[in-house]
Amino acid sequence: APAMAGRDFLSNLDMTPQELRAVLDTAHSMKRGQWRQVKPLAGLTLALIFEKASLRTRTTFDVGMYQLGGHAITLTNQEIGLGTRERISDVARNLERWVDGVMGRVYLQQTLQELAQHARIPVINGLSDMLHPVQLLADYQTIEEHLGEVRGKRIVYIGDGNNLANSHIHMGVLTGADVTIVTPVGYEPNGAVLMDAVKQGARITLTNDLAAVDGADVLYTDVWISMGQEAEAEHRRRAFRGYQVNAAMLDRIAPNGIFLHCLPAHYGEEVVEEATDHPKSCVFNQAENRLHAQKALLYHILGGTQPRW
């Protein structure tokens, strides 16, 4: 049965460890093709709102809804003007009359909270400046495929203390994984996210020291200049020098360790081709898993919903 029926998913902490387990189990079985004949979302529509660009999130939510028998419509912010052409609360009170769920890729986490507060349908976070929870579902599916059980594994995120770093910390809370965040001074992850995670007993290490990469089971990086930070590009490139993932850095992780990157890659900055093409790299399998993991999430949130027409 669907584990998260009718619920919002704005953060990985909106699910329990048991619900995460259910979603990942479904994701693995969907990837094996065991759901091919099943259309659990027949008659349902998901609206996809984009304030920012996307390849993976847009394609996988759209294809995922189609494969489960449902439908997706994409609304760019140029069209709908969230908070400019129209109040966020009114966008929510319109969408809930027509569609069964909303996925939002936005600047502010607050925008998603406002949508969720005013819409009686589930709202899913497809990336905000603070968090990227659906990405981490695919990431942990990928880790399980390559390394088996996550508990006790050393997961090292290197680079900017951004939305990806914050969501990694949340996964430390949910899974008990040993999560290390390595950033330059001044680019540490969100303090409130960190404090909350530590309070909940997560094993999180924060450091500026590259030695933390040694022996990692998973090495993970993301862009140094996130969407919306283009004006800081030069300054950031200077601050992050030395934190690039290249072949020499991949030599330092565990012999059977893996390299992950949520993509898009900014080659020559946080990563180089020799790393994404390296035998330890799983980045394209990771991208594939966006589809399986989000289909699983959609099933667990929307699966019990009655088509409204």
What is the contact surface with ligand CP in residues (CB under 6 A)? 54-57, 127, 135, 262-264
What is the C-alpha to C-alpha distance for residues 255 and 90, in angstroms, rounded to an integer?
A: 53
State which residue, 125 or 135, has the beta carbon closest to ligand CP: 135
**Minimal distance in Å, beta carbon 37 to ligand CP?**
29
Give the shortest CB-205-to-ligand NVA separation in angstroms.
Answer: 21
Closest CA to 223 of 249, 250, 244, 253: 244
Cα 87 to the center of its chain, rounded Å: 27
Task: Please state whether the peptide bond connecting residue 264 to the residue before it is cis, i.e. omega within 30 degrees of 0.
Answer: yes
Q: Is 117 a catalytic residue?
A: no
**According to the binding rule CB under 6 A, does residue 262 interact with ligand NVA?**
yes
Q: Are 116 and 10 in contact (CB under 8 A)?
A: yes
Instruction: Tell me whether residue 35 or residue 224 sits nearer to ligand NVA (CB atom).
Output: 224
**Looking at beta carbons only, is 118 or 132 nearer to ligand NVA?**
132
What DSSP assignment string belongs to 118-175?
H-SS-EEES--SS--HHHHHHHHHHHHHHHS--TT-EEEEES--SHHHHHHHHHHHHH
292 is catalytic: no
- The yes-or-no answer on residue 222 being catalytic is yes
Query: Residue 223 binds what, of ligand CP, ligand NVA, none (CB under 5 to 8 Å, by partner type)?
Result: ligand NVA
Q: Which does 113 bind (CB under 5 to 8 A by kind): ligand CP, ligand NVA, none?
A: none
Distance (Å, rounded) from C-alpha 35 to C-alpha 29? 7
Kindly calculate the radius of gyration of the chain based on its CA atoms and give it in whole angstroms: 19
DSSP state of 239: H
Q: Which stretch binds ligand NVA (CB under 6 A): 142-150, 157-165, 204-212, 252-260?
A: 157-165
226 is in an annotated binding site: yes
| Nearest CB to ligand NVA, comparing residues 92 and 265 | 265
Residue ranges for the known binding site for carbamoyl phosphate are 105, 132-135, 262-263, 290
Active site residues: 105, 132, 135, 222, 262, 290
Q: Which residues are annotated as a binding site for L-ornithine?
A: 163, 222, 226-227
